[in-house]
Amino acid sequence: MAREEALLSTEIVNRGIESSGPDAGSLTFSVRVRRRLPDFVQSVNLKYVKLGYHYLISHAIYLATIPVLVVVFSAEVGSISREGLWNFLWEDTARYDLVTLLAFFGVLVFTLSVYFMSKPRSIYLIDFACYRPDDELKVSKEDYIELARKSGKFDEGSLEFQKRILQSSGIGDETYMPKSVWLPENCSTMKEGRAEASEVIFAALDELFEKCRIRAKDVGILVVNCSLFNPTPSISAMIVNHYKMRGNILSFNLGGMGCSAGIIAIDLARDMLQANPNNYAVVVSTEMVAFNWYPGSKRSMLIPNCYFRMGCSAVLLSNRRPDFRRAKYRLEHIVRTHKGADDRSFRCVYQEEDERSFKGLSISKDLMEVGGDALKTNITTLGPLVLPFSEQLLFFATLVKKQLFGGKDASKPYIPDYKLAFEHFCVHAASKTVIDELQRNLGLSEKNVEASRMTLHRFGNTSSSSIWYELAYLEGKERVKRGDRVWQLAFGSGFKCNSVVWRSMRRSRRPSRNNPWLDCLDRYPVPL
C-alpha cells in the first residue's frame, strides 16, 4: 500500500458552482490521481552496479599490465652499464639474464599488440540533420480540436478528453501534423504512410548530405528505425532506391522498437563500423503520424494522438581517421536496458485494436512506474562509466553503511550528481510529466532540461528523433564547447531505456542555416 501511495499524487480541482440538481449553488470539486515516477535512485540493485563496472574494466587488464611490464623492462635494461652490456650479450654467464630480458620484451610486445588490436575503433559523428516541415502544416492546440471535430472521427467526449490532455501536455502552438489526419476518410493507409515517409526522410537526408559534403554512394552502412510503419519493401530499401546507393551497402530496418530505437540504431551502426573499417554509416530515425492516427474513443489510445508530431533525424557516423578533424562528436558509451521479460513492462505500450477494430497505440497507467524501473537500471549501469571517482566513493560508502546496519535507521544510498558527469542533457521529450519527474529524481536544474522542454513545446514528441532536435537546440544556443559531454537518454515500448554519451570535438557556432530552430531560436526559452 505504501508503495502505491508513493507513486500517486492527488490534485483537487475546483470545477465551479453547480448550476442545477440537488446540489445547485454549491461548489463542486474533482479529484485527479496522477501516477508519477518512483524515487528510483533511493533503491539500488547491486547487480546493475556490478554490470557497470564490468563494462568499465573490460580492457583494464591491459592498462594495468602494460605499465608493470614497461617498468620491469626498463629496470632490467637500466641496470646494465655500457661495458656490462657487451659482456651481457656475449659472455656465457649472462645467458640466463638475456633470456629473462627477451622474455619480458616479448610479453610486453605481445600485450601491446593484443591491446591495440582489441581496442575498438573511434566512432565519430560528422554531423546530423533534423527535418522541419513547411509552415502550412503547423497546428495550434485550438486548431487541433477544431480540425478533429470537423473530421467527424471523434465524439464530444473524445474531443473533450484530448483537449484536457493538450492543455497539460507542455506542447505549444507551432507543432506539425500531416493534413491527411483531418480528412474524413481513413488516413492509416500504406499510401499515406509512404507519402509521409518520403517527405520527412528524404528532406532530412538531402540536408545531411549537403552539410557533410558527401555523396549517397559514399555510404556503406544504412540503419533506419521507424517503430509503427513497416512497409514492404522496407523504408531502408526506399532510401536505397531513391538515392541509387551502391549495391553492396549494408542496410538495416528496425521496426516496433519504440521511441528509444534511435539509440539502438546508433548501437547497431557502431557495431557495423567496428567490423567494416574506413566506412560511413547513416542512421535515420523517424515515425509516421498519419499511419498511426487513432480515430476511436478509447482513452488510453487517444493519448498518442495528442503528443506525437512529425519529425525525422539523419546522422552521419564515420570510423575514418581523417574525419577526426571535421567531426562534431566522438562516441563514448552506449548502455541499453531491456525490461521485456516482465509482462507488465511488455504491455505498458501496446499496439492493438479497440472494440470497433480501430488500430492504435495503447498507453498503460503503469507506464510511469515501469519507466522509472527501467531508468533506474540504466543509470545504475551507466554510473560507473561516467561518474567521477569522488561521486562513486560517496555512493559506495553510504551503500556499505546501509548493508552493514540495515533497518529503517539506515541512511539512504547517496544519490550521485550526474551534473558532474555531463555538461548537457538530451532527455527524450515524451511529455511534460515525464520531464518533470526525471528532473526531480535526478536533481537536474531547469537549464539541464531546457532543451527537452523547449523541444516538446516547439516540435512535440517526434519519437526517436526528439533527442536530435534537443541537441540542435543546444548547438543553436552555442552552449556546446570542445570537450563537453552530452548525455542522450531515451525510453520506449518493450520496455526499453537506452543511453548514449558523446564527447564534443569542437565548439558549436550559431548556425547560419540548416538548423530546425533557426527561425525561432531567439524566442526560446519560453515560459511554461
Residue 45 known to be catalytic? no
**Cα-based angle 521, 523, 528 (whole degrees, multiple of 5):** 115
Residue 338 known to be catalytic? yes
Residue 54 known to be catalytic? no
Contacts (Cβ under 8 Å, ≥6 apart) of 299: 161
Residue 187 known to be catalytic? no
Q: CA 202, CA 210: separation in Å to the nearest integer?
A: 12
Choosing from 253, 305, 461, 498, the catalytic residue is 461
Q: Among residues 475, 386, 493, 354, which one has the least CA distance to residue 52?
A: 386
Dihedral sign from CA coordinates of 193, 198, 203, 209: positive
Choosing from 212, 424, 441, 497, the catalytic residue is 424
Q: CA 416, CA 395: separation in Å to the nearest integer?
A: 7
List, as one string, the DSSP characters of 173-197: S-EE--GGGGSSS---SHHHHHHHH
Q: CA 72, CA 64: separation in Å to the nearest integer?
A: 13
Choosing from 212, 226, 259, 312, the catalytic residue is 259
Residue 226 known to be catalytic? no
Q: Go through the chain and tell me how many residues it has.
A: 528
Q: Among residues 215, 210, 213, 208, which one has the least CA distance to residue 243?
A: 215
What is the per-residue burial (b if ≥16 Cβ within 10 Å, else e) of 28-67?
Answer: eeeeeeebbbbbbbeebeeebbebbeeeeeeeeeeeebee
User: Can the peptide bond before residue 233 be classed as cis, meaning omega within 30 degrees of 0?
Assistant: yes
List, as one string, the DSSP characters of 370-390: HHHHHHHHHHHHHHHHHS-HH
Report CA-CA distances (Å) from 250 to 206, 220, 237, 268, 420.
20, 6, 11, 11, 38
Choosing from 279, 292, 348, 428, the catalytic residue is 428
Choosing from 457, 497, 498, 515, the catalytic residue is 457
Q: Is 319 within 8 Å of 121 (Cβ atoms)?
A: yes
User: Can the peptide bond before residue 527 be classed as cis, meaning omega within 30 degrees of 0?
Assistant: no
Q: CA 301, CA 294: separation in Å to the nearest integer?
A: 7
Residue 333 known to be catalytic? no
Q: Which residues are catalytic?
A: 259, 338, 424, 428, 457, 461
